[in-house]
Every structure is written in C-alpha cells, then in structure tokens.
Amino acid sequence: MSAGKLFLLPNLLDESLDAAPFLPANLSPIIQSLQGLIAESEKSGRRYLRRFLTHDQMAALPLKTLNEHSAPDQLEELLAPLKNGEIWGLISDAGLPCIADPGSDLVALARKHQIAIQAVPGPSSIILSLQLSGFNGQKFSFHGYLPREPDLLEKQIIELEKRSRAERSTQIWIEAPYRSSKMLEFLKSKLQPQTRLFVGVQLTTPSERTASLTIAEWRKTSFPIEKEPAVFLIFAH
C-alpha cells in the first residue's frame, strides 16, 4: 500500500474570529477529506473541526495529540495511519504548524518515510509582524521564547542586539501573554536608545495594536499590554 498524506493546516490567531477572511477557501474540502487530525490537544482539535464538519463527522474523526509534552517515540505512532495510506492533518493552536510549534519533528519523520506533505497557507503572527515592522526582511532570525530568568534574559537580549547590528538582521521572538508587558518594560530598560523595537499585539483581531519605534521613543510612549499575545522584533543600526 502506498503511503498516505499529511496536510499542514492553518489556524486562526484568535479562535473567536470568523475564518472566512483569514483561511483559504480550499481548506474546507481538504478537511472533509481527512481520515484523522493531529492537534495540540483534543479539545482544541475538536473546536477546529467544528468549523468545517457536522457534529457527527467531527465526533467520528480520529484525533491524536502532539505538543511540547510528547515523547520522541510517539512520532512513529502518530504516523502509523499515514504509512498505511491514510490522509491526516496537522494543526497548531494558533497560526501555522511547525512555526514555534513541535510539528517540525513530525514533518521530518514523515519525509524520512516518504509520506507526501502539503502545506496550506494561512496567517502567521511572526511573518505579519516582520511585514508590519519596516525592519530588514531579507535577513532575520526567529528565537521562539527567550529565557525567563532575568540575568539570562538580559544576556540574550544584548547578544541579539549585537548580532542585529553586526549582521543588519532582524531578531524576532514571542512571549507568553501574561509576560508580554514585563518583556516590553525589560527591553525599554536594557536596549540601546537607537535600537528599533517593534511590538505587535493581538494581530488580525479587532484589538490589534502595533508600534515600531526607537528605544528612546519607546521610553516616552505609553503602550499598555494586558495579558495578550505579542511578537517582539528588534533591529539595531
């Protein structure tokens, strides 16, 4: 039997949004064709499927989980139905699979097994932020989450600033919503006055807010962030 197929499916950056403006029209028939779905949790996977399937279709579709707690040896188990010819999808809780998400290991293993893979386009807060920032889009690096311990965080931020200046590259990272405000204040206190900082909050939602300023300008600016998802970019001259 020939190997199946893995679809990398886009998700909304905020699940309360209407899908139509953000997800492609071909997504619904793709999901209708699935024989299973891999999600970060069963709850989030079922909520996602309810947008496209009837209750009975959603309840009948097998669902497996892949998240930061998944062990490496579980990947083979996740791919077992695909090696038997089935068509499955992979989603992330917000945005695109494999971007700030553990799905990349699954994709690497699927390639090893010569399973067909197709990525469906959709929103990414990281790429949207890069577009909105006005920073260098020719050379950039994404660093996921930075350390929480203040001394380690300061060390890495200074290293990223030096790297940005030396390479003329944009440095990008994200933060847990409840720490977004603290991250902004930390950056304002640690970065050089001429370094540019972009902050994107609640992108694609009605509460979207963005600002792209030098640190000197940030220190004079009020930009309240509640417990909201945010993306941070720096570009040092």
pLDDT at 28 (0 to 100) = 96
End-to-end CA distance of the chain: 56
Same domain, 133 and 191: yes
Residue that the structure tokens 């949790």 belong to: 41
pLDDT at 233 (0 to 100) = 98
Identify the domain boundary among 102, 119, 136: 119
Q: Any idea of the CA torsion for 139, 176, 76, 42, to the nearest 10 degrees?
A: -130
Same domain, 93 and 186: no
Element (H, E) at 198: strand 196-201
pLDDT at 149 (0 to 100) = 95
Residue that the structure tokens 């990008």 belong to: 172
Same domain, 137 and 229: yes
Cβ count within 10 A of residue 154? 15
Same domain, 75 and 9: yes
Residue 94 and residue 118: Cα distance in Å, rounded? 18
HSE value, Cβ hemisphere, 13 Å, CA-based, for 204: 24
Kindly give the confidence (pLDDT) of every residue in the chain, 237 residues in length, as a single tens digit, with 9 standing for 90 and above.
Answer: 567 999 999 999 998 999 999 999 999 999 999 999 999 999 999 999 999 999 999 999 999 999 988 998 899 999 999 999 999 999 999 899 999 888 999 999 999 999 999 999 999 999 999 999 999 999 999 999 999 999 999 999 999 999 999 999 999 999 999 999 999 999 999 999 999 999 999 999 999 999 999 999 999 999 999 999 999 999 998
Q: What are phi and psi of 139, to 5 degrees?
A: -145, 115
Same domain, 17 and 56: yes
Token couple for 14:
């905020």
pLDDT at 1 (0 to 100) = 56
Give 89's contacts (C-beta < 8 A, 6+ positions apart).
6, 7, 8, 9, 30, 31, 34, 36, 37, 38
* CB contact at 8 A, 136 and 235: yes
Domain with residue 103: its CATH number is 3.40.1010.10
pLDDT at 2 (0 to 100) = 67
Domain around 82: 5-119
SS3 235: strand
Residue 90 and residue 201: Cα distance in Å, rounded? 25
